[in-house]
Amino acid sequence: MASNRRVTISTNVHGHTAGWAEVTTPPVPPDSRTAAFFDIDNTMMRGASIYWFARGLAARSYVTTGDLARFAWQQARFRLLATEHAGDMSRARQAALAFVEGWRVNDVERLAEEIFDELMAPRIWAGTRRLAQRHLDAGQRVWLVSAAPVEIGRVIAARLGLTGAIGTVAEIVDGAYTGRLVGDLMHGPAKAEAVTRLAAVEGLDLARCTAYSDSRNDLPMLVAVGRAVAINPDGALLRTARRRGWEVRDFRTGRRAARIAVPSTAALGLLAGAVSAGLALHRRRRTA
């Protein structure tokens, strides 16, 4: 934990500066019972982390710009139609399985680190980052909670100096992904369940914890803690926040209709399928 620093400037009787000394105060002791939970997409960063990851893969010829264009169209369509039905969830799950099958864990982590530095870091909301830092400065732990693969969340958390990340987990055998998920997609009620389990393991008092999100899909997580904050909220979450008296922070600029959309889980699954096809093609080219 970084210490708090205060600079003291001393002056003589004529008002001239005589010198300065840096006074270091003790670090804030850890608050072991309190934590903050941040959604990633459009809460901690502009846009969807999996989309920017795919953009980075496209720049490396793992997927095509056509794959990205198709995903962008599907993202807009699913947001407009608010389609998050069971069949969409099933397709998203299947696509997520295909996305990681056969890949080495260290390759995905290396790519995630490179792509974060290139494309994601400039899109971190400065306002949300400051909120996270306030919790850290208060001695609290800060976790990212996202439907994105946990490897991506872990990289973002490490780069931002946060405690860790909760995300969708893929099964790993001998350092490679099997194509099977451990549990389900980290979405909706699954986020609340994961936060509750983490609280039990870490000895957290959820009534003293805070959760941040932009989406109505995260309402289960938001109501599971003592303090909920809507960040760049969609319309449904904004209405709920106003009705419940939750704090609202909006770091977006420009017309609301032009704001970056958070892809639905189904749209994320479609992107994962496009990425999976690109990765398979890339592997065939490398082995040809």
**Cross-strand pairs, 248:** 230
How many other C-beta atoms lie within 10 A of the C-beta of residue 147? 29
CA distances from 213 to 1, 120, 191, 247 (A): 25, 18, 11, 11
Active site residue 39: yes
Residues with Cβ within 8 Å of residue 26, at least 6 apart in sequence: 3
Whether pLDDT at 200 is above 50: yes
Q: How confident is the model at residue 114 (pLDDT cuts 50, 70, 90)?
A: very high
Whether pLDDT at 41 is above 80: yes
Computed over every residue of the chain, the mean pLDDT equals 78
Alpha helices in 213-257 (DSSP H): 219-224, 235-244
The domains of the chain are located at 30-287
Of residues 39, 67, 214, 234, which has the active-site annotation?
39
How many other C-beta atoms lie within 10 A of the C-beta of residue 18? 10
Question: From CA 274, how far away is CA 69, in angstroms rounded?
Answer: 10
CA distances from 256 to 35, 40, 253 (A): 31, 19, 8
- Say if residues 214 and 230 touch (Cβ distance below 8 Å): yes
| Percent of the residues in the chain that have a pLDDT greater than 90, as a whole number | 48
Residues with Cβ within 8 Å of residue 274, at least 6 apart in sequence: 54, 63, 67, 68, 70, 71
Q: pLDDT tens digits for 51-80?
A: 888 888 888 877 666 666 665 555 555 444
Q: What is the pLDDT of residue 94?
A: 55
Segment of 14-23, 173-182, 233-242 carrying the highest mean pLDDT: 233-242
The residue among 194 and 15 whose pLDDT is bigger is 194
Q: What is the pLDDT of residue 117?
A: 97
Whether pLDDT at 211 is above 70: yes
Question: From CA 243, how far away is CA 196, in angstroms rounded?
Answer: 24
What order do you get walking across the sheet with 210-213 strand by strand? 176-182, 164-173, 141-149, 35-38, 210-213, 227-231, 247-249
Q: How confident is the model at residue 17 (pLDDT cuts 50, 70, 90)?
A: very low
Residues with Cβ within 8 Å of residue 234, at least 6 apart in sequence: 214, 215, 216, 262
State the average pLDDT over residues 196-221: 96
Q: How confident is the model at residue 133 (pLDDT cuts 50, 70, 90)?
A: very high
**Cross-strand pairs, 143:** 37, 164
Q: What is the pLDDT of residue 189?
A: 93
Q: What is the pLDDT of residue 232?
A: 96
Of residues 31, 41, 137, 184, which has the active-site annotation?
41
Active site residue 117: no
Q: What is the pLDDT of residue 69?
A: 64
Q: What is the pLDDT of residue 254?
A: 54
Q: What is the reported pTM? A: 0.76
Cα dihedral sign for 251, 257, 260, 264? positive
Could you tell me the fold of the domain covering 30-287? Answer: Rossmann fold (3.40.50)
Q: What is the pLDDT of residue 187?
A: 85
Q: Quick one: how far is CA 139 from the chain centroid?
A: 21
Q: What is the pLDDT of residue 175?
A: 92
The residue among 107 and 245 whose pLDDT is bigger is 245
State the average pLDDT over residues 32-48: 95
Q: What is the pLDDT of residue 209?
A: 98
